[in-house]
Amino acid sequence: MRPFRESPIARDGKVLILAYDHGLEHGPVDFDPVPETMNPEAVWDIATHDAVSAMAVQKGVAEAYYPSYEDDVNLLAKLNGTSNLWMGEPDSAVNWSVDYANEIGADAVGFTLYGGSNNEIEMAEEFRKAQEAAREHDLPVVMWSYPRGQGLKNDRDPQTIAYAARQALELGADIAKVKYPGSTEQMQFAVDAAGATRVVMSGGSKTSDREFLTQVKGAIDAGAVGLAVGRNVWQRENPAAFLDGLEAVIYEETSVDEALDRI
Amino acid sequence: MRPFRESPIARDGKVLILAYDHGLEHGPVDFDPVPETMNPEAVWDIATHDAVSAMAVQKGVAEAYYPSYEDDVNLLAKLNGTSNLWMGEPDSAVNWSVDYANEIGADAVGFTLYGGSNNEIEMAEEFRKAQEAAREHDLPVVMWSYPRGQGLKNDRDPQTIAYAARQALELGADIAKVKYPGSTEQMQFAVDAAGATRVVMSGGSKTSDREFLTQVKGAIDAGAVGLAVGRNVWQRENPAAFLDGLEAVIYEETSVDEALDRI
Amino acid sequence: MRPFRESPIARDGKVLILAYDHGLEHGPVDFDPVPETMNPEAVWDIATHDAVSAMAVQKGVAEAYYPSYEDDVNLLAKLNGTSNLWMGEPDSAVNWSVDYANEIGADAVGFTLYGGSNNEIEMAEEFRKAQEAAREHDLPVVMWSYPRGQGLKNDRDPQTIAYAARQALELGADIAKVKYPGSTEQMQFAVDAAGATRVVMSGGSKTSDREFLTQVKGAIDAGAVGLAVGRNVWQRENPAAFLDGLEAVIYEETSVDEALDRI
Amino acid sequence: MRPFRESPIARDGKVLILAYDHGLEHGPVDFDPVPETMNPEAVWDIATHDAVSAMAVQKGVAEAYYPSYEDDVNLLAKLNGTSNLWMGEPDSAVNWSVDYANEIGADAVGFTLYGGSNNEIEMAEEFRKAQEAAREHDLPVVMWSYPRGQGLKNDRDPQTIAYAARQALELGADIAKVKYPGSTEQMQFAVDAAGATRVVMSGGSKTSDREFLTQVKGAIDAGAVGLAVGRNVWQRENPAAFLDGLEAVIYEETSVDEALDRI
Amino acid sequence: MRPFRESPIARDGKVLILAYDHGLEHGPVDFDPVPETMNPEAVWDIATHDAVSAMAVQKGVAEAYYPSYEDDVNLLAKLNGTSNLWMGEPDSAVNWSVDYANEIGADAVGFTLYGGSNNEIEMAEEFRKAQEAAREHDLPVVMWSYPRGQGLKNDRDPQTIAYAARQALELGADIAKVKYPGSTEQMQFAVDAAGATRVVMSGGSKTSDREFLTQVKGAIDAGAVGLAVGRNVWQRENPAAFLDGLEAVIYEETSVDEALDRI
């Protein structure tokens, strides 16, 4: 079977991926709320929190910093990504070969697919190469499955999100990272669509503690195995405290109120 | 000669391919009529019916589920496919290398060609690579031969369907999966056009028991070796019973009425 | 030097290539005049006629039928080709690798170049790969040299046909298959332009016995080494008799009248 | 970790790259101010100045001249580049493989990325291959990170320059070569954005001694490790004297006035 | 260093390349003035003249004829080229791999670059592969450096021709073949721009004896190492006599009048 449960990026079958590729995808502007987060060390430090089961970064951030954190953090090599300086039909450059990611010590790989983009077919074929190379190294594969582009009217539509989750299953991802469609019931539809592929909720832009934990709770109740989150952690004043709250909701499946008490 | 007859996907020289790649091609909406079919296990279970000589799935559905069914089901690795989130000129991503399909235990491979699409030439060249790699592994090759795109006015025209069957022969497919053109005589024209390449009827969207069996009977009478079917089986209340009927028509060449009695 | 004269596809330095890739290039409609020709065996049988020095087919037709005819027919592997379902700027898919053609037992390879098409450069580069691979296997290379596309006003212009013949020489084909430009003198211009590359006349659509033999005679008188013909043989009632006539004109260099007597 | 500090192209952790690829990028017109600079030897001679820690050239200029200078100059192989005869959306040809650059004796490699260009994705993927090949040879990688193209309104915007510096970090460059954004504070923002990736200021078109040294001083004060400069050195009457001034500012971190005294 | 001077294609450091790829580039129309030149043997015979240091042909003309001339003529393998049947933005197909050219016995390779064309970047990358492969075989590389296409207003502008010569240096050609810009002084500018890369004048369409020799004399006086010429030799009544004149101007550096006396 597929190498998820025994992988170091899972803790009791759950995952909390701390994503930190915003410097590439959005640029330094994402670090404005908490300027010290521009320094990758600040976020690698956050990732040493027990709740974080893997940190997702681009190649350069792994090369330069992972050697100092490899004992304390699991590395999810985000293989593709692009700047938002370029504003055409959604696409993403493959910036990292799986072989090299494995050499650097990656525990898993991540790959974005923009279903519905004019570039979907090319991206799917790039995904194929990455996925099959990852299989050779027994690395779990996480798909950032984000329908987007000319063909999409509403990328928050529950049918679209369920379709995205299904694409991850059909194409061979171990974990599908999808947007939260708005309710537990709708998230459960996506989780069902994903079949054996596990689903994690994508964090998105920053919201209030309660709002965010409520979404995460909704996702966990729907059967998602966890969360991939960036700004909602490291754009907060006290990320460690908020990770305490997320840890409660995800791994202990507490209520939102109990989790808020831990923050 | 070509490795069809002795292949595990044939039973007495006939085939019934249960197709289940709709989650990728159409999305979860195809599972609405029978919601439990969203769970691949439900359809793999159906595929254990004796009438089913192979199950056609995408890579991820094979990786996750085939190990539990490999004793009871033959695997047809559908190598390419794409979502309908993207609505451009017909094309299809190659999601699976033949080498890896072989490693997973595939008994045959499948490949879609959209003749008449602006992408026909690129697809034909991708087919070449897949076909020649399949030959190295002695895997039979099934072509989903579906003229479609800018150049096509009517993809149900008997001449077009016969042309599609012929393309499968000329390019080196062992089996051509084509639409039913409407009558036994017209189907026979396609079967003749395919020469040594065997023809199977493509199931399409769900119709009544009698209507569907009548088409299948027409195809068998025309010399087709069987059927590739998805929705017309697993969108039914009792797929096993309907497979009993298909088994009668395809393998025993009974009349439609006799087959209906078995359902 | 180049491997033409000693090759099995030449008989006394002359060639008569029976072409049968029309099922791919034109579809089943080309078999309407003599419906049994839809069955490849009917045409392979015709190819056993002593006058036929090679039969040109696509991969699938070779794979399925050549094993039964390999003692009696020489195989010319037509490497590229495409359907006419697609109606864009002329192009052709490479459907067969030279290595695999060699494995199947090909005695020569054939390749279409559409000079003047927007795709000419890509096709020329594909030709390069095929030609150099053919050299490794000592397989003669026949170029279907057909100027066609946006840049062409008149593909029957004698200057254009001579240019096509010259392209075959310059790019390294052993034999150039070109249209008959209309007269012996004009054909001789093309033969001269081809230099050491031998020229064969392309048969084209069906005409009367006398008209066709007169063209062939004109080509032979012009120094062409023979003919590549499809419809003008197998769309006839009695292809064997007509091949007797062609044999006379091509190999014995008889007059048209004498050849007509043999039919 | 990454191979910058111990590399021959650094001197006490600082760098002064003398760039001389203008013959390709801009043409002979850049040599008009000091015509003898059209002769590469004139500029290689300048590069023997102690202040120059590496000379950046295209392949041909390295092949022809580096053997005479390899004892005195460190070679930075500028891998891509293109003429300005072509005026489309920014792009750059890869003119040199890393393996061959290594064979010629390169001490580091350089690569331009035009973030914001329609070609950004393709360029990033070419960068990936070059960067990973450079890692195999332990060659430091310098990215000429120049946002440019359809998507860019102002390539001197401090946010854009910081984004460019960040791209270099995220994609795995050891050094980012960026435009000077106008002030020390703004340059420091770019240096911070680059994290562990070192930043060098890009020289640009010729300005006065004081103006240029003031910019360089500003960059050094901001934490940049040095400068990559072409025209501002070899378009001067006395490049050696000006290099004395640059040496003071960069390696000794003198004031601008003190540096001007050395010129 | 680079393998020019000791190469068989140089005689005392000078070169006279007889070009004969016009059958591909322009078609048979170029042979109209002297119809026997359509036969490659006629031009290969001309190339045995002592003044000719290499003959530049496409692959097919080398394969078919070079074996008969290899003792008397040096082979320059012109690697790319295309017909003028296709009239789009300038581009050129790579018709010959360097490995195969080496196998046939090439003494040098030639490659066209259309700087300023929309295809410049792709052509430069194809040049890279050819140049690096040529280095492995110690074959000198001649670049036909011809700015042409959308970006160019005047391809005879001396600045443009000097830029073309410089591109040849920067990209790693040993010899740059450029148009004659009109005067010795302007040609010297191009020769200077080329640095260590030698420059040869491109012959162009036929002119009078005196006019052509005057241009060649101007190029030699400017420091060019010779000439690449086709039509101005083999479109003449007595090519051998004219080669006597060119030999005088190029190798003996005589005056034009003295050279005319030898014709």
Which ipTM score applies to this complex?
0.96
Q: Catalogue the E-assigned strands of C69-224.
A: 75-78, 80-81, 93-94, 108-113, 141-145, 175-178, 198-202
Q: Over 80: is that where the pLDDT of A29 sits? A: yes
Q: Over 70: is that where the pLDDT of D5 sits? A: no
Using beta carbons and an 8 Å cutoff, which residues of B are at the interface with C?
A: 1-2, 115-118, 120-122, 124-125, 127-128, 131-132, 135, 147, 149-152, 159-160, 162-163, 166-173, 189, 192-193, 195-197
Judged by CB atoms closer than 8 Å, whether chains meet at B159 and C95 is answered as: no
Q: Compare C153 and D50 and report the one with higher pLDDT.
A: D50
How many secondary structure helices (H) and strands (E) does chain E include?
A: 11, 10
Of E24, E65, E94, the CB nearest to C167: E24
Of C103, C75, C64, the C-alpha closest to B1 is C64
Using beta carbons and an 8 Å cutoff, which residues of C are at the interface with B?
A: 21, 23-24, 27-29, 38-40, 58-61, 63-65, 67, 81-83, 85-88, 91-97, 100
B169 chain-C contacts, CB cut-off 8 A:
23, 40, 60-61, 64
Asked whether the beta carbons of D140 and D134 are under 8 A apart, the reply is yes
Q: Which domains does chain A have, with CATH numbers?
A: 15-262 (3.20.20.70)
Q: How far apart are CA E227 and CA E242, in angstroms?
A: 13
Tokens of C172: 């390294």
**Dihedral sign of CA atoms B177, B182, B184, B190 in order:** negative
User: Distance from B122 to chain A by nearest Cα, in Å?
Assistant: 12
Q: How far apart are CA E246 and CA E263, in angstroms?
A: 9
Burial D233-243 (b: 16+ CB within 10 A, else e): bbbbeebeebb
At residue B2 the predicted structure's pLDDT band, cuts being 50, 70 and 90, is low
Q: Across chain E, what does the average pLDDT equal?
A: 96
Q: How far apart are CA E142 and CA B19, in angstroms?
A: 57
Asked whether the beta carbons of D38 and D31 are under 8 A apart, the reply is yes
Q: Which amino acid type is present at position E65?
A: Y
Q: How far apart are CA D192 and CA A39, in angstroms?
A: 7
Of B137, B161, B148, the C-alpha closest to B112 is B148
Residue B214: Cβ within 10 Å count: 18
User: Distance from D35 to chain E by nearest Cα, in Å?
Assistant: 10
pLDDT of residue B7: 80
pLDDT of residue E121: 97
Of E93, E114, E88, the C-alpha closest to C151 is E88
Judged by CB atoms closer than 8 Å, whether chains meet at C96 and B128 is answered as: yes
**Dihedral sign of CA atoms C57, C117, B151, B24 in order:** positive
Which residues are within 8 A (CB) of B120 and not within 5 positions of it... i.e. 6 or more apart? B113, B114, B149, C82, C83, C85, C86, C93
Give the residue-averaged pLDDT of D21-50: 98
Of C115, C150, C197, the CB nearest to E83: C115
Stretch (H or E) spanning C229: strand C226-229
Q: How far apart are CA A112 and CA A130, in angstroms?
A: 11
Q: How far apart are CA C128 and CA B241, in angstroms?
A: 57
pLDDT of residue A2: 56
A83 chain-D contacts, CB cut-off 8 A:
115-116, 120, 163, 167
pLDDT of residue C109: 98
E171 chain-D contacts, CB cut-off 8 A:
24, 58-60, 95
Strands C93-94 vs C80-81: parallel, antiparallel or unpaired: antiparallel
pLDDT of residue B152: 84
Using beta carbons and an 8 Å cutoff, which residues of C are at the interface with E?
A: 1-2, 115-118, 120-122, 124-125, 127-128, 131-132, 135, 147, 149-152, 159-160, 162-163, 166-173, 189, 192-193, 195-197
* DSSP label of C38: G
Q: Do B and E touch (≥3 CB pairs < 8 Å)? A: no
* DSSP label of E183: S
3-state secondary structure of E84: coil
Of B116, D119, C211, C192, the C-alpha closest to A85 is D119
Q: Over 60: is that where the pLDDT of E1 sits? A: no
Q: Across chain B, what does the average pLDDT equal?
A: 96
At residue A150 the predicted structure's pLDDT band, cuts being 50, 70 and 90, is confident
Structure confidence by residue, pLDDT tens digits, D69-128: 999 999 999 999 999 998 889 999 999 999 999 999 999 999 999 999 999 999 999 999
Q: Which amino acid type is present at position B131?
A: Q
Q: Over 60: is that where the pLDDT of A181 sits? A: yes
Judged by CB atoms closer than 8 Å, whether chains meet at B59 and A170 is answered as: yes
Burial class from Cβ neighbours inside 10 Å (0-12, 13-18, 19+) for residue A138 reads exposed
Please give the residue of chain D at the shortest CA–CA distance from E152.
Answer: D85
Burial A67-101 (b: 16+ CB within 10 A, else e): eebeeebbbbbbbbbbbebbeeebbbbbbbbbebb
Q: Give the number of A-D residue pairs with CB atoms closer than 8 Å.
A: 109
Using beta carbons and an 8 Å cutoff, which residues of D are at the interface with A?
A: 1-2, 115-118, 120-122, 124-125, 127-128, 131-132, 135, 147, 149-152, 159-160, 162-163, 166-173, 189, 192-193, 195-197
Asked whether the beta carbons of C86 and B151 are under 8 A apart, the reply is yes
Q: Which of C177, C179, C217, C251 is catalytic?
A: C177
Q: Do B and A touch (≥3 CB pairs < 8 Å)? A: yes
Task: Determine whether D78 is an active site residue.
Answer: no
User: Distance from C41 to chain B by nearest Cα, in Å?
Assistant: 9
Q: Over 60: is that where the pLDDT of D1 sits? A: no
Half-sphere exposure of E198 (CA within 13 A, CB side): 22
Tokens of E117: 């064309």
Asked whether the beta carbons of C24 and C82 are under 8 A apart, the reply is yes
Q: How far apart are CA C124 and CA A114, in angstroms?
A: 35
Q: How far apart are CA E76 and CA E56, in angstroms?
A: 5
Give the CA angle between residues E176, E179, E180 to the nearest 5°.
115
pLDDT of residue B3: 60
Of D127, D151, D196, the CB nearest to A85: D151
Of E109, E99, E134, E108, the C-alpha closest to C136 is E99
Of D192, D255, D243, the C-alpha closest to D218 is D255
Please give the residue of chain D at the shortest CA–CA distance from A39.
Answer: D195
* DSSP label of D89: S
Q: In chain C, what are the helix, strand and coil shares in percent, each to the nearest 5? A: 45, 15, 40
Give the CA angle between residues C29, C33, C35 to the nearest 5°.
80
CA-based radius of gyration for chain D = 17
pLDDT of residue C86: 85
Judged by CB atoms closer than 8 Å, whether chains meet at D170 and A95 is answered as: yes
pLDDT of residue B1: 44
Best interface-test mutation with B: which of A4, A111, A121 has the largest number of B CBs within 10 A? Answer: A121
pLDDT of residue A5: 67
Q: Mark residue D19 as left, alpha or beta (left: phi above 0; alpha: psi -120 to 50; beta: remaining).
A: beta
Strands E80-81 vs E93-94: parallel, antiparallel or unpaired: antiparallel
Give the residue-averaged pLDDT of D32-47: 98
Strands B226-229 vs B15-19: parallel, antiparallel or unpaired: parallel
Give the CA angle between residues A68, A73, A77 to the nearest 5°.
95
Full pLDDT tens readout for chain C, 263 residues: 456 667 889 999 999 999 999 999 999 999 999 999 999 999 999 999 999 999 999 999 999 999 999 999 999 999 999 999 988 899 999 999 999 999 999 999 999 999 999 999 999 999 999 999 999 999 999 999 999 997 787 888 999 999 999 999 999 999 999 999 999 999 999 999 999 999 999 998 999 999 999 999 999 999 999 999 999 999 999 999 999 999 999 999 999 999 999 99
Judged by CB atoms closer than 8 Å, whether chains meet at E24 and C172 is answered as: no
Q: How far apart are CA B143 and CA B135, in angstroms?
A: 14
> Which residues does residue C16 pair with via DSSP β-bridges, in sequence order?
C227
Asked whether the beta carbons of B162 and C7 are under 8 A apart, the reply is no
Give the residue-averaged pLDDT of E205-218: 96
E230 chain-C contacts, CB cut-off 8 A:
none
Judged by CB atoms closer than 8 Å, whether chains meet at A197 and B40 is answered as: no
Which of A29-43, A142-156, B73-87, E222-236 shows the lowest per-residue confidence on average (mean pLDDT)?
A142-156
Tokens of C67: 């094993």
pLDDT of residue A1: 44
pLDDT of residue E204: 86
D59 chain-E contacts, CB cut-off 8 A:
128, 131, 170-172
